[in-house]
Structure 1
Amino acid sequence: MRRFFTLILLFILGSNLSFAQDNYTDHTIQKGENVYKISRQYGVSVNAIFELNPGSEDVIYAGSTLRIPNSSNTSTPTYNTVINDDNISNYVVKSGETKSGLSRRFGVSINLLEQQNPHIIAMLQAGHILNVDKTIKENPRTAKKGEHYVVKGETLWGIARNNGISLAQLEAANYGRLSEFLQIGQTLIIPTKDSESSTDEGYLVQRGDTKFQLAKHFNMTIAELEEKNPHTVPMLMAGHRLNVDNSDVNNSEEIPNTNEVAITKVDSINTTNGYKNYVIEPKETLFGLAKKAGMTIEDFTNLNPKLLTSVNNGDIIKMPINPSQTIATTDAVDTVDTVDTVDTVDTVDTNTKNATTKIHSNKNEALFTNLVTETSTGLYFYSPFSSEELGSSEERQKMISINADFQKYIDFFQGAQVAIDSAKALNLDFDVTLIKKNIAKSKITIDSPHSKNAILVPFIDNKSNFPSIESNTPIAIIDIESNLVSKDSINVYRSIPSDTIQKTKTLNYLAKQNANVIVISDLNNARNKGLILNAIPDAKFLKVDNAGFFKSDALNNELSTDKLNYIVFDSEKTIVLLNTTTALMGKLSDHNIQLVMLESSLLPKQSEVSDMRFRILQLIFPAITNPQNKEDITAFEIKYEDEFSSKPSQNAILGFNVTFDILLRISQNSSFEDIINTTLSEQPHLKFDYQKTTDRNYSNTGIYLMQYNSNEGMIELINGN
């Protein structure tokens, strides 16, 4: 037994000795590497490398050796954080925290926080260590040249206007400082009017800048740019300060020819299809590029799908070699708007229905053509979040832990952010404001400096709690699944087509086809019987049992042998759908049958019912989103995933489509109501065709009427009209 314990003791001692000898690995630094990259390679923290290699936090050199701690023996460094009435010591900044939030938490001003922690002035980052001594007197801050010291009552819009720059330029120059409300005492960077941001402190990254473009501009490789600016390795962001001193860069080093291609105005010419590569210049817009190409915006975005999401300075796109020739040889797309009468739902009075017409343009041609960029507009969001809560991941998580339903608001605002970025790429000028939902307030007064404004109201759970709105300038209320009704003299625009609109438009289509209509339900009275009979008075109704089986010969007695038979399925039960479709497929040899659903929500998951049944029965169904618009949808999804590292949810899709459409509509040279009454639009997922329902209320009636087709997969039936 004694020998056994001796062996165990020797094993433990030997193990400890082995750990002591092998607790780090030597790494030879390669050109272009930085500490962040190396830490990711070995799966250890940056601070752990700094602790083993004093001085590496300042600079590292290619060819030198770094000691890398073994990941199994490293842990997150611990700091003796102390927070009391007079001192904050060794506080580690967490992801999502902001200067404003920390200043309130510690009971100090942002000025004092920055004064004692100058490393956070340019940008607060997770992992920064903060120390504050409250007994030290705060020095009054005076704005230097190119800066602005915020005082009470100022707004971003006012500061931008007073300095002769756009709001977008001001926001880009202060990207890391504007995660929430403007703070008194905050220092803002004021860029020059042309946004040229190279200073003694380095270059300030602007929206649309890329690493490749900046590396070429400052005569260095991307690796060298990242080595000098390790904070840009995970992602280059507007507002980053860059060290662009290339005095120590080997300027004689050849840059690969693949990089050379992108710096010329015309990079290469594809003689087989008549297009050349073109680099987008600063301040160019989609409308201007399409005009330069001699193409309609629709044709130009079909050629360059990524432009549907945003127009980015430095991006490479396709441009016709000979614009005039393109116009002559392209399949003719008539750019003159054609007028067509649109069917409306039953709630629209007859006079309005007969009088209302819409411009059927090539997607958004009418909106893009008349964009006004010289004047700014106001965009408001009514939300359960304040700007601070929405801008802090910690606060968002706290809200979700209280109510999981808040996640849909976060998704919506993330989609809206992509829309806001896309609108700014079109040079639209607007202010964005969050109004925090508060049921104690019965009235909200909006004092806007803009001549046109819109307030977006997503997902209100109790419309009776929505306050009345009073505004000094015209404002429109945009309802997103909130079911609001106008209380005041302000128009309410319901942006998502209701279930009733889906059903009515589908039934209107069936009524025009001179077919035999049979409604299948598992209830004594079909759920939509009144609506169906109103559109198709001679419709027949059949009831199946709970398993979806017909009574003997009941189906045969109602089917027509000499007319098309529309079978309208009106049940929510999957088993009923399976057995009903099986019975219908058995009748196809003697009858012309097509299946119809009045609501897209009745479509089961593909894991439950194969869409092969729908192809065979050529299912017709209404859809709010267009499943065929794959290029536009893909462009949006790529942009969203780049921004938020996740796929967009349905609520994020709503946030993008509704926000972008409203920004286009309020940025026109006509009144918002005129644009609503005269212009159709179509975003990547949603169609917007507003119809007046009552004096102050409008509904979007834009749906897609789709049909499964055995040959083509899926087709759209006459735009759902």
Structure 2
Amino acid sequence: MKYFFATCATFLFLTGSVFSQTKTLTHKVEKGETITQIAQKYQVTPFDIYQLNPDAQTGLRADSVLLIPAKSDGKSILTSSKPATVSTVASAAVAGTTHLVMPKETLYGIKKQYNVSEQALIEANPEILVDGLKIGMLLKIPSKGAVKDDVKVTTRKQEKAIKKAEETAVYHDVLPKETKYSISRQYGITIEQLEKLNPEVVTNLPIGYKLLIKGKRSAVIDSKVITAPTDVYKEAKTNAVVKDSVPQYIAYEVQPKETLYSLSKMFDISQRELLELNPELNAGVTIGMFIKAPTKNYVAAVEGKKEYVSLNKNIAVGKRKRLAMLLPFNVSAADEDVNASGYSRLKKDKFLNMTLDFYAGALIAIDSAKTLGLPIDVEIYDSEETKNSSNVLSLIKANNLQTANAIVGPFYQSNAEVAAQALVENNVPVVSPLSKDVGNAYPNLYQSIPNNEIVKNTMFNYMRSQNGNIMAVVDKKKESILSYLREYQPGVPLVAFKDNGSVSAESLKGMLVKGRMNYVVMETANTWMIKTTISAMLSSMSSYQLQLVILEPNETLDFEEIKFTNLTKLKLMYPSVTRDNVSPEAAIFDKNYKKINNVYPSDYATRGFDVTFDTMMRLVQNVKFEQTIKTVATDRIENKFEYYKKNDGGYTNKGVHIMYYDTDLIIKEAK
């Protein structure tokens, strides 16, 4: 997905003639400042600032410069880039509105969109004759001197509704390093309440996002109440009728196999609305063309939850791709150890064993790519790395890896960051294959293993998606789990313990709800606590639906004292980065791997195949690597790859399996 909003400097250059007759000021953004604070400082509305600085809608950056409208005479004209057939501000219908020029737009398409003549557009925007129509131009859309029939003036009842929304709604602008937990604590609400009011932040929390804390984002449209930012109405005339007052659009690049129907479904708008936004689509949908689409719906459709698909059908032909793998064989260290034979080193060096397993799996992926005829060349280098050192920089320089299409490795997070930093200007993707560390963010760094927080969050998201009633049994010694629950799941109640350390059956049963699945999250290594928790759950199964859940691997559950049949009765469920059951694809891989290596693959070997094969398949698509990351999730032999862009930069994988013990004694994946 490519965003074509210009930077502030470019925007000022392109639109200088548009604002030549309007007095404006400039403001240098300070660290931590919000749009609301800046608007209050200059006595304008946030909407006024967004109109002159559309890129500011995605967040503010320290030291960037904003164009600020000089304070008017008290009147505020609200404008919209929606088609003229949609209700707009009554006063704007007289004074005219504006339109931000998107990629591939034409003068013909714009005049049809607003139902005005080409001559009227040129008279209102004489710079078109000098510079032509350019991306980023803010065009004045001339009015016809009268309000259309479909533009309605608010009634007294509508005015009261707007006023009430202004008075009761409370907002919070998200600052850097703030979390949902810290914000919910600040306002005395739960994270669940916060997400219910702001469904767009369920998967992430963008800096600068305006969170609704209390009340409703409401505006009166055609005698109906809809969601819309309340800030738009500050200083607005009481006779203004607003619809989509702060339009946010993206320029979306059409992908192979996409149709008008599929695009309308993706952005959750009708085909007619899509054609109104993009008149050129009347001539057909063409791969590579850019269309205008609503940002909010795109985020919900694509970034909110990606579709798991196969990449096999879209293999590009032509130029070959170059993949480099930086793996820590540490051959030089082995050469220095003159007293160690190869066998003895393998026996004692677990890190080398892990590397060789990963390498063996990667070799099968490379062989599979050759069989498929993928146009890709693979180079493998010894990264000679420890946790605090490597020869990554010298490898990049000596082998001109700036021209590579992607890098897999190194293994250690710190070394992967070194590679990403060295290649960031060339935008070469660096896939970190094994690290769970969050680390420093680089825009070209892809964390392929979900971190512990993501794994746990996925489990809770699944339970909530099933309308589950959640409670937790947590040992006081499990400080990390208690800390996690306090920060990320503060609404989950804790079951009480008795003085002897056993679980209070009365406390647990008092939290159960009929008609819903009751999920009991159990985190303890204490055998007695486990047994009493299981006993309390089993005794309640005749009246309630119950399922036992763990968030982390628990070796105590393997002890003979804990009956396996009880775990299957309670359908023990847990989140896992790898798929723990044997799929048909896994059976084929296991067989081939054993045939080559005389042993069955370890988790590292399977991961070596999954990471390498997934990276190669993304490289050879007929769109850019990053585009496949943004739009497509994949499910390999044991690992899922569902990447999302992090707030601070780079990408993280949120592909987690939800596994459970079924009553037929088979581990299955929850769907």
The alignment's TM-score, normalised by the length of structure 2, stands at 0.48
User: Over alpha carbons, which structure has the higher Rg?
Assistant: 1
Higher relative contact order (CA 8 A, sep 6+): 2
Normalising by structure 1, we get a TM-score of 0.45
